[in-house]
Chain A
Amino acid sequence: MTPYVPGRSPVHRCPPGAKILTLVAAGTILFAWPRLDFALAALAGAGLLYGLAAIPARLVLAQLRPLAWILAVLALVQLALDGWQAGLLVAARLAALVLLAGLVTLTTRSSDLIEALQRGLAWLRPLGANPAKVGLAIALTLRFIPVLAAITAEVREAQRARGLEGSLVALAVPVVVRMLKMSDDIAAAIDARSYDPDRADG
């Protein structure tokens, strides 16, 4: 997970909902109008915002590193097929969006992000989905990821003791079964505390 970098900059203080909406808008505009000047402007804007939020350069590079290959290959393919401008456009657009998305996670606490998502999904209510339930599911998901990693490490050790370290199935089946059992326990615990999503306010 991208770490949260604490701070008091305008980027940090901007409400999470507004940040997500800006991200959605930037992505939509950049793909609806594939223009080099827009993409470069977005890239420059992302750079400015990183400066404003005082994010260390090391973390900026960490955002781009997983993309380096994709960027290089995409740029080369475009270069060969459509000339350097198209290559630059595709690379700049992707880099700008990844940097902007990274900035949202770097400057927003995940609890604030969940709360904003829950409020943002309020329009689902008439469709039969309860935003409080969605919020619960989001919080549980984020909690489950490290738990899954820990259980996987445990099961891997146990299977190594049995000489089964090469088998992915022997690893995955106990992990999933244990998680399912745990899910039933968690559901029972939530129900035992009389959790009522129709009345819960978050």
Chain B
Amino acid sequence: MSTRDIVFVALFAALTAALGLFPPVTLPVVGVPITAQSMGPMLAGAIAGAKRGGAALALFVVLVCAGLPLMAGGRGGLGIVMGPGGGFVLMWPVAAFVIGFLVERNLKALTVWKEALILVLGGIVLTYAVGIPWIAAVARIDLAKAAIGSAWFLPGDAVKVVLAVLIARAVRRAYPTLQPR
């Protein structure tokens, strides 16, 4: 990684932390907060690309695990990763990488819809696939209950996908950061 890559990694790790400054809303039953923070992996992947975006979110998760209070509501520490929302958080680096990879792959003909689809796949489908069984295991509720409880996230996540697509497209147009893969 070049120095520029390192600074970009730090920037998107910081951006994810800063998104946590918006106050979270905690969901009943599953005990996982809705935060603006899950836009972090979407923006990091779609703006910084697979390698830097994935590294940025991995760095963010390491810092949270080390106990820095970077999660929404000033939370941090391994308690977060091992708590009910841990599955979602651990999938963020993977989501950022996958989103970045697909965006770079399709960069030449990336319509709004295609990009939204990529963000839904990486930011929602992939993270829920790990996040829901994780809630079920940690909160000791059955899988169906965890899935229904998590469905409350969907409207918020849909809004976040729309915002992330609009922001990422405008940013890349103003300041091109990616090379087509």
Contacts and interface: CB of A to CB of B under 8 A. Distances in A.
B66 A117 contact: yes
Nearest to A103: B67
Contact of A148 (B8, B14, B74, B76): B14
A176 B21 contact: no
B28 A73 contact: yes
Interface string B83-95: 1100000000000
Contacts, number: 171
A159 interface: no
B67 A78 contact: no
Nearest to A116: B66
B11 A179 contact: yes
Nearest to A97: B79
B170 interface: yes
B34 interface: no
Contacts of A148: 14-15, 18
Interface in A141-197: 141-142, 144-145, 147-149, 152, 168-169, 172-173, 176-177, 179-181, 183-184, 186-187, 190-191, 195
B148 interface: no
Interface residues of B, number: 56
Contacts of B75: 66-67, 98
B68 interface: yes
B179 interface: no
Contacts of B31: 70, 73-74, 77
A180 B175 CA distance: 8
A169 B66 contact: no
B11 A23 contact: no
A149 B18 CA distance: 7
A195 B69 contact: no
28 contacts: A1-B69, A2-B69, A31-B82, A66-B74, A70-B26, A70-B83, A77-B141, A94-B83, A97-B78, A100-B79, A104-B77, A105-B67, A113-B66, A117-B66, A136-B10, A137-B6, A139-B10, A140-B10, A141-B14, A141-B60, A144-B15, A145-B14, A148-B15, A149-B21, A180-B11, A180-B171, A181-B175, A183-B7
